[in-house]
Amino acid sequence: MIELTIIINKEEVYEEVSQTTSYTGAKMEGGDDKTYDRIFTTEADRSQLERFWNESCVAVCEALKEFILEERNEKESFCVFLGLSSSFDRALEPALKKELFSFFVTNIVCKWYVFTNKKEAGDFATAAATMLDGVKRKAYHRRKPTRPTRK
């Protein structure tokens, strides 16, 4: 078994959520200052975002439950300890971690947009589900066995 630890930093996720919502609010067609203020996440929105963070943690645990050795939803991060097949392709580790980070950002933005930008919420929900599925596919992936060679 290969043990893999993934740590998702909450502040980094919130920063990406803020950038995404800021960009969307600024580029919204037909929008005005009120549109930007409605869509862009601020410090005042943190308690709501915290709920979306927790829901994202639960979704990850559900998707990866057969691999989870331990999980910790701590104040500053989400840590998940996975037990993967000894045939897991370690070359996929960076992509798996990046895709899981992207899932958190996209899922939180999706949930935020249900309140503030319903038009785009569905696209973000689809993207988040696709990312979580990608994480799961990577966790299941096995590298091809190689034949031992004689010298």
- CB atoms closer than 10 angstroms to residue 144: 6
The pLDDT of residue 25 is 73
Q: What is the pTM of this model?
A: 0.87
> Which class for 3: exposed (0-12), middle (13-18), buried (19 or more C-beta within 10 A)?
exposed
Angle, to 10 degrees, between the axis of helix 10-27 and the axis of helix 93-116? 50
Alpha helices in the chain (DSSP H): 10-27, 33-39, 46-63, 93-116, 118-140
Reading the chain (151 residues) residue by residue, the pLDDT tens digits are 999 999 999 999 999 998 888 877 776 666 556 665 666 676 767 888 999 999 999 999 999 999 999 999 999 999 999 999 999 999 999 999 999 999 999 999 999 999 888 888 999 999 999 999 999 999 998 877 677 777 6
- CB atoms closer than 10 angstroms to residue 127: 17
Q: Domain residue spans in the chain? A: 2-140
